[in-house]
Amino acid sequence: MRAVLTFKTRPVLIVQNRMDNANSAYPFVIVAAVHSIKPGELEKLRRINHPTDFLLSPAECGLKQPSVVFLNQLLTIHKNLLQDHIGPLPALRLAELNVKLAEALGLVER
């Protein structure tokens, strides 16, 4: 998905449950902003290896360049800010996302 954040359209990763996503009476969605990785930043992110950083490659989700999702920076936005669907995550990556998201929310300890 893409959403309008800070007066700029940018990619977001929806991290909310499907029941609330499908409920038209519930107007909000929980997302994490997707940030493109500039040349040279990928190695730095890998070296830091923060447990709630979620790296995305263009091939796996339809983005144009390598990106990172900071799962410790979640936002709640109105659904009408969502624009177009970019693509789903593969099942294995979704499982990895769920572990990192649970850690970011303090639901599990590392």
- What's the mean pLDDT when you consider all of the chain? 88
- CATH topology for 2-104 is SH3 type barrels. (2.30.30)
* 5 Cα distance to chain centroid: 13
What is the reported pLDDT for 30?
Answer: 96
DSSP-derived 3-state class of residue 66: coil
What is the reported pLDDT for 77?
Answer: 93
What is the reported pLDDT for 75?
Answer: 93
What is the reported pLDDT for 109?
Answer: 76
Domain spans in the chain, listed from the N-terminal domain onward: 2-104
Q: Please, are residues 2 and 83 in contact by the beta-carbon 8 Å criterion?
A: yes
C-alpha distance from residue 103 to each of 25, 90, 100 (Å): 29, 20, 5
What is the reported pLDDT for 41?
Answer: 84
DSSP-derived 3-state class of residue 67: strand
Per run of 10 residues, the mean pLDDT along the chain (length 110 residues) is 73 93 94 88 78 88 88 93 89 94 88
Please state the pTM of the whole predicted model: 0.83
What is the reported pLDDT for 79?
Answer: 94
